[in-house]
Structures are given as structure tokens and as C-alpha cells.
Chains A and B, each alone.
Chain A
Amino acid sequence: MPEVRETPYHEIHRRNGGRMVPFAGWEMPVQFPQGIIHEHLQVRSAAGLFDVSHMGRFRLGGSGALAFANHLITNDLAKIKGRQLLYSALCNPEGGIIDDVTLYHLGDAALVVANAANAAKVWEWIAAHRPSGVDIEDLTGELAQVALQGPRAAEALPEPFGSAVRDLGYYHHTRVAWQGAEILISRNGYTGEDGFEIYVPATLAVPFWEALIEAGQGIGLEPVGLGARDSLRFEVNYALYGNELSLETTPLEAGLRWVVKFKKDDFIGKEALLAQREAGVPRTLVGFEMQAKRLARHGYPIRVGDTEIGFVTSGGYCPSLKKGMGMGYVTPEHKAVGTQLSIDARGTALAARVVERPFYKEGSVRKG
């Protein structure tokens, strides 16, 4: 067994009563004593603080770094400038998704943020394709990463961060001098709310966390675990690798057509994705609401009548909507809103109905 890794916040999580569980090779808090629903609603109404230091952080530098990064991703770095970031798929030549990543344009370099479960795979993929003139560096251990999310997130930022982000646009980043270090902060997130992702040198990770909690006291800022991170993203239908996304799915099937830029020069997976666009996707992602009280879960088969037409990718309870919802792949002829589905919950048929996405539309996330 490989060693279980701990983030710089491990001790703080324990002190806060976090229930620590193994996750993608790390020991992480799935929830704190007040529970997932409480944390979820706290983020929707005020703000929450997430330790996401388990994610992979890789810096690509050197003269060819941006061109190389653009060749790896399906989205187009040329469409953004320095001080912006973008969300993208990283595909193999067959169009299968290796990971979904956030990519920071740092002017002359790029920062790739990968899912924890895929970090090693992404690192190997980048290393295997690295041309001469590009150097790559794994910053996962030396940088901590936190997400501050919620409609009142900006109020929980201590100075000088508060002033620095006042005019920061969605999917833009800036650097802030704090305690002798340059700290990268961006306006984005994984909850459907306004918020920030912040990259802090590991040596300053704990004092930075404490400064946030202190500044956020007035709005009731609390730590939030991975359980609510999942329920928050599920409610706004953000894809999760291992659920909606996998090597066997393409961005076109997963509702990520918007991150595939066919007008861009060659990128890995372009040919296969073009062919799939021509031929049509064999399945597509839909959202559905449960008409039964029992919940759908990842992996349950989806039927129409007696015919199996797909499977559930994510299912569960949405705390803001107070009902059970699900996402899953179905054959395209069954994707229309209103289509009646039957979810096979280990032998019990549960009625469900295709609905519009996202499920939760009231989020404070700023677009543009």
C-alpha cells in the first residue's frame, strides 16, 4: 500500500472534528460534526472553506509551455489572456477523458490543476508528451489549495485580499503579496456560488487558513468537507470524474461540447471527437428528478419500459431542493425533458422524470 498523504490542514481538520477518510491516496475530511446538509446550506447562504490541497498542481514553464498545454487540452488557451483561467477536458487520441482540469494562463507559463484521483495519470501524460523547451514541475506538495465558496465569500477575505479581488472577474486570477509571499487567487469554484480558489505556499498554509476563519467570523465561515463539496456540485450539475467523466466517455457525450474548440489547430483527441460529432453521440448525459422517495445511486441501470437505456452516474439528495435527483447517460432518443424513466435500485423500480439542468439555479456564481 502506498503511503497515505496528508495536507497541511490535517491537524486543523482533526481539531475541528472532521471525519477523516481515505480519498484518492489522501486522508481528507468528508464532513464536520454538524453534517453534510448543514455545510451544504451554509455554503449556499453564506460561505464555506474547503481544503482542496489533495488536487494535483503542475506548472508548465519554458518557451513552448503555452503551446504545449494548448495541444493537450480540448479548450483553447488562445481565447484567454494572462490573468485568466479556463476549464477543459484532457483527452486521449480516442477522445476519452483522461481528466477535467483547470488551466491557469500565467503569462509565460501555465498551471494545470488536476483531480486528486487522476493526478498521477495526468502527470505521466504531460511528462510523456513534453517537448524539448518545456519544463514541468509538480507543485502539489509545496502549495496548499483552498476554496472559499458562497455568496458572501468575498466578505471573508482578509486584507489585502479583499481589495485585490473587488474587481476580479469570473475565471480571472491575480497575485497578492501576503507575509512575504505572492499568493495566487482566482474567482471560480465547484459549487455554483461566487467564490475563490487560493494557492498558498505550504509553509504559510496554516496561518492563511486561520486568517480566513478570523476574517470570516462575522459571516459564520466554517470548514466544509468533501461530502458537501460533492452535493453542492451535484445540485448545479458540474461533472465529477469517475461519475460523469471517464476514459470511456467523451466531452461531447458528457455535455462538455462547450470546452471542445474544433476551430483550434490540432489537439490530442481532435480527430476522434470530430468523427463523433459527424456520426452523433451514442449516449448523452441527462438530469432527472425522482418521483419515488428512495434515491438513485451511481451505477443503477436506467430503463424506459423494459429496455435498459443507460445508467446513473450520480444520484442523491439535493439539500437546497429537498428532493432526490440524479444524472445519468441515456441513448439520445430518450433525452427530452419530461421523458419517463425507471431506475433499477437493486431490483426495485423507481419512477423518475428527465428535467432541465442545472437542478439548482439560484446560485450566486458570477458569469462574465
Chain B
Amino acid sequence: MEIPDGLRYTKEHEWVRQEGAELVIGITDYAQEQLSDIVYVELPEEGAELVQDEPFGSVEAVKAVSDLCAPVSGVVESVNEALADDPGLINRSPYEEGWMVRARPSEAGELQELLSADQYGQLLAELEGEQG
């Protein structure tokens, strides 16, 4: 299970990467593996407002539909248009080609409150433990 250092994570299995003044958002390797075979992604429009912990879109796999929850508040600058034709990019490359939205954050402190790679790794270890 890949959990790259330097990214921030949420308990809902999203990741956030800071690139200059923008934040790139996607779902984690664990999330894509749990969903498996993603067949559709609903993403917000450019300029849409993200509110931390509120749904901003959804991911549909063959067997499951999940809301995407905004890890931070902000305004959507762009969305990954390639996902419309090939949502499987999220399965194949969750942290790179499978990114979902770029946003300009509106609440400065929110990013630092998210989980580090180590903390997220611990969370996954606990989840695996529960599954026995």
C-alpha cells in the first residue's frame, strides 16, 4: 500500500498535496483499492466552493458509490478532465494521474491539521487490524 511522504491525508482516505499556492486533491491508494474498478467520477465545476468535510463530488465503482469529502475549504481552480474518459486512472495512479481537483485554499490552518503519512499509515494499520 503506497502512502507517499509529504502529502496530507484525511480519515476519509483523501490526500492533499501542496504545489505553490494551490492544493491538489485526490483519493488514496487504499481508497481506490477498496472501491476497485472505478467507472465514473463526478467532480465540481471550476470556481465551485469547497467546504471542509462537505461532499464535493462522488466516485462510483462497479459495486460502490462514495462521496468525496473536501479535505480543506477553498475554491476549485481546475479539475482533472482526463478522468471523464478514463476514470480507471484513479485505480492505476491514485497520487499522480488520478488527481481530482486543484483548489486555492481559503482557510490557512486546515492543511496542517490533516494527518501526516505516518499518522495515516497508523490509521490503515488499525483498519486492517479490525478486519482481522
**Which A residues fall within an 8 A CB radius of B?**
30-31, 35-37, 227, 230-231, 293-295, 297, 316-317, 319, 324
Which one of B42, B60, B62, B65 lies within 8 Å of A37 (CB-CB)? B62
Known: A37-B62, A231-B62. A317 touches B36 (CB 8 A): no
CA distance A115 to B65 in the complex (A): 25
A37 to B92, CA, bound (A): 14
Contacting residues, chain B, for A294 (C-beta < 8 A): 40, 42, 60
Q: Are B42 and A316 in contact (CB under 8 A)?
A: no
Whether B36 lies near A35 (C-beta < 8 A) is yes
| Closest chain A residue, CB of each to CB of B36 | A35
Q: Mark B32-61, 1 if CB is under 8 A from A, else 0.
A: 000011011010000000000000000010
Residues A31 and B65 in contact, CB atoms below 8 Å apart: no
- The 21 listed contacts between A and B (C-beta, < 8 Å) are A30-B63, A31-B63, A35-B37, A37-B37, A227-B62, A293-B40, A294-B40, A294-B42, A294-B60, A295-B39, A295-B40, A295-B60, A295-B65, A316-B62, A316-B63, A317-B37, A317-B40, A317-B62, A319-B62, A324-B39, A324-B40
Can you name the residue of chain A whose Cβ is closest to the Cβ of B87?
A293
- Distance from A351 Cβ to chain B, minimum over Cβ atoms (Å): 15
CB-CB under 8 A for A31 and B40, given A36-B63, A295-B60, A297-B65: no
Residues of B within 8 A of A324 (CB): 39-40
Query: B84 contacts the other chain (Cβ, under 8 Å)?
Result: yes
Q: A297-B65, A316-B62 are in contact. Are A36 and B37 (CB under 8 A)?
A: yes
- B39 surroundings in chain A (CB, below 8 A): 295, 317, 324
Q: Which residues of A contact B84 (CB under 8 A)?
A: 293
Contacts of A37 in B (CB 8 A): 37, 62
Q: B42, A36: Cβ atoms under 8 Å? A: no
Question: Nearest CB to that of B42 among chain A residues?
Answer: A294
CB distance from A355 to the nearest CB of B (A): 19
CA distance A317 to B60 in the complex (A): 9
- Is B62 in contact with A36, judged by CB distance below 8 angstroms? yes
The residue of chain A having its C-beta at the shortest distance from the C-beta of B65 within the complex is A297
Top 3 closest pairs, chain A to chain B, by CB: A317-B39, A36-B62, A37-B37
